[in-house]
Amino acid sequence: MKTELVRIGNSRGIRIPKPIIEQCDLGDTVEMRVEKNRLVIFSQRKPRQGWEEALQRASLTAEDESLIDSALDDDFDNQEWTW
């Protein structure tokens, strides 16, 4: 996709179309760097950001653990294994 540089004071800028912003999950601020003479723009959010909080909210309760144990307990598991 081609786009024109626009004047912003003494600087120049580009307009990023909304579909690209959404596809790249860009927020209000982004990180930029130059790699091999190319401008790379990427989301400032870190991978897995917020996962720890989500895990804590979804942590197992004692009731959940008892459901898991009862679902896994059957005759096959209670027999001795032989190879």
pTM confidence score: 0.49
* DSSP annotation string for 37-65: TEEEEEESSPTTTTHHHHHHHTPPPHHHH
- Give the pLDDT score at 25: 84
- Give the pLDDT score at 16: 93
Q: Is residue 81 part of a domain?
A: no
CA distance 74 to 56: 30
- Give the pLDDT score at 71: 61
- Domain enclosing residue 37, as ranges: 6-43
**What's the total number of domains in the chain?**
1
In what helix (H) or strand (E) does residue 13 lie, and over which residues does it extend? strand 11-13
- Give the pLDDT score at 72: 62
Q: Is residue 26 part of a domain?
A: yes
Q: What are phi and psi for residue 7, nearest 5 degrees?
A: -75, 130
Q: Is residue 35 part of a domain?
A: yes
CATH number of the domain that residue 12 is part of: 2.10.260
pLDDT tens for residues 39-76? 999 887 777 777 888 888 777 665 666 666 666 656 66
Q: Is residue 20 part of a domain?
A: yes
